[in-house]
Amino acid sequence: MTFKKVKDSKGDQIVIIKVLDQDRSILENWTIMMSDLYKWVSIMKSKYGINRKDKDKDLDWIYN
């Protein structure tokens, strides 16, 4: 999966993301275009093993 080249142009925003550990040490820095945000989320879900199906039943009201 490739991302668009980050450029300052009108019409699409730039997103800067910092991924921190529990002790606030920086794990990753990302700078992507807003249009690539969905791709980035998909990559992070698979990288960190985030699966919404395994959610806590007590928090069902959040997802509705």
Confidence of residue 64 (pLDDT cuts 50, 70, 90): low
Domain count, the chain: 1
Does residue 61 lie within any of the structural domains?
no
Q: Mean pLDDT across the stretch 9-17?
A: 83
Q: Which pTM does this prediction carry?
A: 0.65
Does residue 38 lie within any of the structural domains?
yes
Contact 31, 16 (CB under 8 A): yes
Does residue 32 lie within any of the structural domains?
yes
Alpha carbon distance 61, 4 (integer Å): 36
**Tokens 């993301």 map to which residue?**
17
Which domain, by its residues, includes 19? 14-52
CA distances from 39 to 13, 18, 57 (A): 15, 16, 27
Over residues 35-45, the pLDDT tens digits come to: 899 999 988 88
Confidence of residue 46 (pLDDT cuts 50, 70, 90): confident
60 pLDDT higher than 80: no
